[in-house]
């Protein structure tokens, strides 16, 4: 239970924001348009959110530009990207540019992480505090912390015996280059999107790289383009278009099923998707990919063939792309790769399948696997991922209206995580998040999802600020029905078959439930639009 504080001298803002990434900046931009006062706090020292935090070797976005950027004309008209899929350094520079154009800094405090938020129902205000005490009070609190800000480090036996250097991908030290990898004996645990990118940078630099794989990553080709064409006059249309398609990209949903066409036609179609690269083989494949096991396996076998063509040692190829799919294709996040599969042809790169030879324990100079082999390591990289979506809320305490429970504790209960429209939770009035649980989030690209949510959210806030209300929150029945819709739809798909972070299944002990709105971006956008037309039904204003 939070201790009451005299707030008379605490500065007031209409909106208090935690997080200076795409969401936080969009929230300030929309607030300013309406003459609302707003302030951002961020525990880091610069803009970018996840792109400020994630500076591990090879960190690069898997969504292409101009889809992956803010739809703010004064920002995009004065910015040119050098690559179709920019890396973290360029994205950081982009955020510096955003600040230069919009002067977000004047409304931001860095190096300050909100640890606690408590609500006063008489005044309808939140009190935001950091470890040193009160920061501000505000009518609306927006914790905009993204879906991957709570890192996950597994509990390995004998981990403390290891005397080498250990870095989780999320804590990569600030550096101008990746020389930390040079001539090292690197051990890498985790082959998600992060692990794949780290392999590509480490393989050519390391003395030896040992990759400990639990689940193969069903990677797709990136197909980078230098100085891609950027016709700014098209941007308004392009940015509007992204809310109409499955993952918030431009490609249309394909309405033909896998076995509606001949094997030859299928092969030709898949060749073309691989040739164009990106997520096409995932997001714009045949319509039954996520619903029909046989169709899904047909796609998997095509993918497997492509991998086997690249990896010289058939045993290694089989570990990377086994005959039996590790999970239905696309129900875990495929990474985009450039050299990943070729890297396993190098003499200094070794792949260990921890399902066959599990990690037994750590010793002073590395890892011992169950087959008794000692893997010598002097730099251990943990690319073991995140307690995704709802896990991001475990880093701070948002107290409920009665001050008896925090949101993250509630979500850790037997019912798991529950939201209304992936934007708010009953019992936590005047509190909103974007790119978090039960929105398209990890199944979409960030800016597409966030722009739909911000547009909706500020229309909702217009109603609140223009009315004579103290607070408002989701209606319990609407929240329950929304949660059911998220769960029920996921059950019609193959997603529950994989132990993925989409389902919360990557964290031991966490409730397994669909944490994303798996119908996709376009139906989510429709739902938000319908709700606006229905004058925001499902919200109770007091």
Residues engaged in binding ligand N01 (CB under 6 A): 60-62, 148, 154, 169, 189-195, 212, 214-215, 333, 354, 383-386, 442, 501, 506
Q: Strand, helix or coil at 190?
A: coil
Closer of 215 and 397 to ligand N01 (Cβ): 215
Least distance between ligand N01 and beta carbon 215 (Å): 3
Least distance between ligand N01 and beta carbon 505 (Å): 8
Q: Strand, helix or coil at 97?
A: helix
φ, ψ at 242 (rounded to 5°): -65, -20
Closer of 162 and 286 to ligand N01 (Cβ): 162
CA–CA separation, 283 and 208 (whole Å): 35
Ranked by CB distance to ligand N01, the top (closest) residue is: 192
Least distance between ligand N01 and beta carbon 442 (Å): 5
Closer of 189 and 199 to ligand N01 (Cβ): 189
CA–CA separation, 482 and 414 (whole Å): 18
CA–CA separation, 82 and 80 (whole Å): 7
Least distance between ligand N01 and beta carbon 151 (Å): 8
CA–CA separation, 537 and 532 (whole Å): 8
| DSSP H helices in 311-439 | 314-320, 340-343, 407-411
User: Which token pair is 47?
Assistant: 């803009």
What is the secondary structure of 352-365 as a DSSP string?
EETTTS-EEEEETT
CA–CA separation, 480 and 484 (whole Å): 6
Closer of 13 and 147 to ligand N01 (Cβ): 147
Least distance between ligand N01 and beta carbon 51 (Å): 10
| DSSP H helices in 153-192 | none
- Burial classification of residue 517, based on how many CB atoms lie within 10 Å of its CB (0-12 exposed, 13-18 middle, 19 or more buried): buried
Closer of 195 and 474 to ligand N01 (Cβ): 195
- Burial classification of residue 183, based on how many CB atoms lie within 10 Å of its CB (0-12 exposed, 13-18 middle, 19 or more buried): exposed
- Is the Cβ–Cβ distance between 416 and 513 less than 8 Å? yes
Least distance between ligand N01 and beta carbon 84 (Å): 13
Least distance between ligand N01 and beta carbon 59 (Å): 6
Closer of 384 and 451 to ligand N01 (Cβ): 384
Closer of 38 and 222 to ligand N01 (Cβ): 222
Closer of 74 and 371 to ligand N01 (Cβ): 371
Least distance between ligand N01 and beta carbon 439 (Å): 14
Closer of 15 and 220 to ligand N01 (Cβ): 220
Q: Strand, helix or coil at 344?
A: coil
Closer of 195 and 221 to ligand N01 (Cβ): 195
CA–CA separation, 300 and 282 (whole Å): 11
Least distance between ligand N01 and beta carbon 237 (Å): 25
Least distance between ligand N01 and beta carbon 538 (Å): 28
Q: Each residue of 121-147: b (16+ CB within 10 Å) or e? A: eeebbbbbbbeeebbbbbbbbbbbbbb
For the CA atoms of 351, 354, 360, 363, the dihedral, rounded to the nearest 10 degrees, stands at 30
């Amino acid at each position: 239970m939070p201790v009451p504080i005299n707030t008379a001298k605490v500065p007031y803002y209409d909106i208090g924001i935690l997080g200076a990434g795409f969401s936080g900046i969009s929230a300030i931009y929309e607030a300013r348009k309406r003459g609302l006062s707003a302030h951002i706090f961020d525990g880091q020292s610069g803009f970018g959110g996840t792109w400020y935090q994630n500076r591990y070797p090879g960190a690069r976005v898997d969504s292409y530009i101009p889809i992956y950027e803010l739809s703010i004309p004064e920002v995009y008209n004065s910015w040119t990207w050098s690559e179709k899929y920019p890396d973290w350094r360029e994205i950081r520079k982009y955020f510096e540019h955003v600040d230069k154009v919009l002067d977000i800094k004047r409304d931001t405090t860095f190096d300050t992480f909100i640890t606690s938020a408590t609500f006063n129902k008489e005044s309808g205000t939140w009190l935001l505090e950091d470890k040193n005490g009160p920061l501000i009070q505000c009518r609306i609190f927006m914790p905009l912390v993204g879906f991957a800000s709570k890192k996950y480090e597994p509990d390995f036996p004998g981990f403390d015996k290891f005397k080498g250097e250990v870095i989780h991908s999320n804590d990569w030290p600030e550096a101008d280059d990746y020389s930390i990898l040079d001539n090292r004996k690197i051990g890498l645990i985790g082959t998600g999107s992060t692990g794949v990118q780290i392999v590509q940078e480490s393989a050519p630099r390391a003395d030896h790289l040992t990759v400990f794989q639990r689940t193969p990553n069903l990677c797709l080709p990136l197909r980078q383009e230098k100085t891609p064409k950027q016709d700014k006059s098209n941007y308004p249309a392009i940015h509007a278009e992204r809310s109409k398609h499955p993952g918030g990209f431009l490609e249309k949903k394909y309405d033909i099923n896998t076995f509606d066409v001949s094997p030859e036609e299928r092969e030709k179609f898949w060749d073309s998707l691989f040739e164009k690269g990106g997520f096409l083989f995932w997001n714009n494949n045949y319509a039954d990919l996520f619903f029909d096991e046989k169709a899904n396996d047909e796609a998997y076998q095509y993918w497997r063939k492509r991998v086997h063509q690249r990896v010289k040692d058939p045993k290694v190829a089989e570990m990377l792309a086994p005959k039996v799919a590790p999970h239905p294709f696309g129900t875990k996040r495929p990474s985009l790769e450039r050299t990943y599969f070729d890297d396993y042809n190098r003499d200094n790169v070794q792949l260990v399948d921890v399902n066959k030879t599990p990690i037994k324990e750590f010793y002073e100079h590395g890892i011992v696997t169950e087959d008794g082999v000692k893997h010598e390591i002097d730099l251990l990289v943990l690319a073991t991922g995140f307690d995704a979506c709802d896990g991001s809320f475990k880093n701070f305490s948002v107290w409920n209206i009665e001050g008896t429970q925090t949101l993250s504790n509630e979500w850790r209960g037997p019912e798991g995580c529950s939201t209304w429209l992936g934007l708010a939770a009953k019992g936590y009035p005047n509190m909103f998040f974007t790119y978090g649980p039960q929105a398209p989030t990890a199944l979409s690209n960030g800016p597409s999802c966030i722009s739909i949510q911000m547009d909706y959210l500020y229309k909702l806030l217009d109603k609140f600020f223009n009315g004579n209300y103290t607070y408002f929150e989701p209606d319990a029945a609407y929240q329950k029905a929304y949660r059911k819709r998220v769960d029920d739809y996921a059950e019609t798909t193959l997603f529950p078959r994989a132990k993925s972070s989409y389902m919360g299944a990557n964290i031991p002990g966490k409730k397994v439930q669909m944490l994303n709105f798996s119908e996709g971006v376009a139906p989510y956008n429709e739902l938000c639009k319908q709700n606006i037309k229905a004058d925001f039904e499902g919200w109770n204003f007091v």
